[in-house]
Amino acid sequence: MGTEHNGYRQRKQMMWGLVLIAVGVAFLLDRVDVLDIATLWHYWPLLLVVAGINQTIGYPSAREFTSGLWTVFIGLWLFAVFEGLLGLTFRNSWPLFILMWGLQLVLAPVFARRFASNKEKENV
């Protein structure tokens, strides 16, 4: 578990490092008038999607996997609301959180069994 956990932490650190590099490059290009960062600003919720996907890949536990799914959901929800996709607004889309919470409660035992079986296979 130690090696796998270190690999997960290294991947997570690399992902955040790449995000910081991309943000730094975008700001630098904006400062030298090569890029107008204001045109990219409405894509910021997609950074949450990337972070959530990173949490779900090579996941160390069912809890981390579920947390990653929530992060992906929130990023996609924010993007949809800001872009007005499907007519979603902050006012009319809050029931999606109730649906997501219910889905998480239904799938939690499935995730727990699946991750427990993965740990058993690793110990053999």
Half-sphere exposure of 116 (CA within 13 A, CB side): 6
Q: Domain residues for 114?
A: 2-123
Distances (CA, A) of 105 to 65, 101, 111: 13, 6, 10
What is the pLDDT, as a whole number, of residue 122?
52
Q: Please state the domain count of the chain.
A: 1
pTM greater than 0.95: no
What is the pLDDT, as a whole number, of residue 49?
92
Half-sphere exposure of 98 (CA within 13 A, CB side): 4
Tens digit of pLDDT for each residue in 54-109? 888 876 688 888 888 999 999 999 999 999 999 999 999 999 999 999 999 998 88
Q: Does residue 35 carry a pLDDT above 50?
A: yes
> Which of 55, 100, 92, 109 minimizes the C-alpha distance to 74?
100
